Amino acid sequence: MATHKVGGEVDALCTRCKLTLAHTILAMVGTKIARVRCNTCGGDHAYRGAPGVTDRPSSSSTTRTARASSSSSPSKAEKIIISFEEQLAGKDVASAPRYSPKDTYRVDQVIQHPTFGTGFVTAVRGDKVDITFRGDTKTLVHGRGGAPAEKPVFSPPVRQTTGPADKPQPVSEDAEQLPIPSDEELFPSSGD
Ligand SMILES: [Zn+2]
């Protein structure tokens, strides 16, 4: 097929006639037809190829090389690598227990391994734990002390209600977390 040029004819979908009809090319961007005039109804519209083919006019022909990304400013795509020491910095290394397969561990817990050294738990999968040591991550077993590993027998009081609790709520597994009513609900203003 010959190369299209302005003034030539092309079959295009007319948006007004809702048919693929002969059009006169009015404008082109590069080798792509940008605008056409329907030979049947005489209407100007953007060129559309056969129905279903999305030939949207792109402005990519104007070579806009991305010069905005300078090396001085940190880009958001930059991968931040945190060293092992930095990852351990915020954790309780001093009271890290020695690793034992009989103990049950939780994520972020720091342990001391006789072979691998200091590490912290990155994942808990049933009776297995992923522990990241310096330069390597090992999958070790835990929770082999007789207690069922599926249900944690000890849950540390990490979740504390920071708001003023009017009355202590009994902790039940079946209890739903009800939203705390706002002041408006507690003290409705009689605006009438
Ligand atoms: Zn038309």
What confidence tens digit (pLDDT) does each residue in 102-153 have?
Answer: 999 999 999 999 999 999 999 999 999 999 998 889 999 999 876 554 555 5
Go through the domains of the chain in sequence order and give each one's CATH number: 1-56 (2.30.30), 84-141 (no CATH)
Query: Is 21 within 8 Å of 14 (Cβ atoms)?
Result: yes
CA of 14 to the centre of ligand 1 (A): 5
pLDDT in tens, 35-46: 999 999 999 999
CA of 104 to the centre of ligand 1 (A): 74
Ion ligand 1: protein residues whose beta carbon lies under 5 Å? 14, 16-17, 38, 40-41
CA of 3 to the centre of ligand 1 (A): 23
Measured from the Cβ of residue 143, the count of other Cβ atoms closer than 10 Å reads 21
Q: How far is CA 11 from CA 20, 75, 119, in A?
A: 6, 46, 68
CA of 42 to the centre of ligand 1 (A): 6
pTM > 0.95: no
CA of 24 to the centre of ligand 1 (A): 11
Measured from the Cβ of residue 182, the count of other Cβ atoms closer than 10 Å reads 8
Give the whole-angstrom CA distance, residue 110 versus residue 132.
Answer: 9
